[in-house]
Chain A
Amino acid sequence: MSQTQSPKTSSQATEQEQPSRTPAEWVTFGIASCILAGIVGLVLYVWFGTNYQDDPQISIRESGEVREAEGNYYLPFEVSNTGGSTAESVQIMAELEVNGEVTESAEQQIDFLSGGETEEGAFVFSEDPQQGELTLRVASYKLP
């Protein structure tokens, strides 16, 4: 259907007879169909082949060594959603207990955590968290 751009081709000829598709157009159409079919196929796979409707299951853990810089202690964490659906506004907290009382707490909010996704960050304490008892927990989330 596309006409050649060369000046020799008059544009009137193409207006009278519907030009057939060129081989090049068939090739690109073939590639385009594959891309579209691939995307639709992947969507169907997510729909029927995964647990995308299951509730979120969010877990948090320390993901590395505490490092100290300028009097602050950085505790890296990893929060992951092993459930199916996405959780929004995931609230995570860390509490540091020294000698039986909570001396410091830190919190963080993750905007969106898809099923299967892992996010990383750090809690910052002014005392060494290794000297006390540390509790990491996921406080809340909401469904989008």
Chain B
Amino acid sequence: MRSAKRQQIWRTEIRDIVRGACGGFLFGIPLLYTMEVWWIGSFIEPPRMLIAIAATFVVVFMLNRTSGFRNTRDTNLQDAAMDSVEAIALGLACAALILTLLREIAPSTPLDEALGKIIYEGVPFTLGVALARQLLRADDNGNGQETTESRGRQSGSSQTSSPAINDTLSDIGGTLIGSLFIAFNIAPTDEVAMLSSAVSPPWLIAIIVTSLLISYGIVFEANFSDQKKRKQQRGIFQRPLSETVMSYLVSLAAAAVMLWFFDQLSFDDPWSMWLSYTLILGLPATIGGAAGRLAV
């Protein structure tokens, strides 16, 4: 009995952390693909770094008083302060992870430059963590009772001729919309080419793995708005793993089309360039796509 309760407590805590991290990714990824922020991070001075952390703390503290990333409604001052510390730590950790993945931070990077980048990229991530519940519309009761309108999908879909096809199409649509929403801002910029020139094949594999993990986390682990209903859906790709992989492929295709649309890639470019560009833009596209499936 006790151990079951303890398990439950840990599960809740991990869910809260994953929810916060996913909110951070949604809000922070576009700024991670902005070279000006890397530059600011590389020459900013230590006093300014501390001011950045302090300012972020104040803003996140105020956000935590009203929303936050945990599934609770009432927060007193002490709780809000503690959650703010957690949100900042989570934001810094996620920013450091992705910066390392994109080779903006390497073992050869000087300490002050690495710190500046992590702290300045960590600010949008931390805000995303604090806004996680707003961004991803988690239900406040945690008892999974949602209205059928929340998905814009009729509960009577089981009576239509082919619900599986409908649900699958709706998932693909949601993924495409979400991918466009996040990655369209990034596709025409030089950052894709810059980052792509710095990654080697092992890092591309790491980017694929990270994209899949974040996508899986957003849709299936974080107990966001219509999780319960998602698990009851009957689409062709409704198994969590297959849905994650399917939506990743859809996001990659969307990323490739966007890159071609903005003339970043042309048909006479080598296929290896198509691959690395698409995978680099595929990371934000997947994150957007995962959020899009929840929102549609």
Contacts and interface: CB of A to CB of B under 8 A. Distances in A.
A associates with B: yes
Interface of A: 1-7, 11, 14-15, 18-19, 21-25, 27-29, 31-33, 35-36, 39-40, 42-47, 50, 52-53, 85-86, 88, 111-112, 114-118, 144
Nearest to A53: B45
A136 B78 CA distance: 60
A11 B139 CA distance: 12
Nearest to A81: B110
Interface in B29-86: 39, 42-43, 45-47, 49-50, 53, 70-76, 79, 82, 85-86
B interface SS class: helix
B43 A2 contact: no
Given A11-B141, A28-B86, A42 B8 contact: no
B79 A1 contact: yes
- Name which of A5, A33, A47 has the most chain B CB atoms within 10 A of its CB: A5
A44 B85 CA distance: 18
A28 B72 contact: no
21 contacts: A2-B16, A3-B71, A6-B8, A7-B143, A11-B143, A23-B9, A25-B13, A27-B13, A28-B13, A32-B85, A33-B85, A35-B93, A36-B53, A36-B92, A39-B119, A42-B111, A42-B115, A43-B50, A114-B113, A117-B110, A118-B108
B9 A24 contact: yes
A53 to B, nearest CB: 8
Interface of B: 6, 8-13, 15-17, 39, 42-43, 45-47, 49-50, 53, 70-76, 79, 82, 85-86, 88-90, 92-93, 108-113, 115, 118-119, 141-144, 223
Contacts of A35: 89, 92-93
A38 to B, nearest CB: 9
Given A25-B13, A28-B13, A42-B111, A1 B70 contact: yes
B142 A5 contact: yes
B17 to A, nearest CB: 6
B269 to A, nearest CB: 21
Given A7-B143, A33-B85, A52-B45, A2 B71 contact: yes
B98 to A, nearest CB: 16
Contacts of A36: 53, 85, 88-89, 92
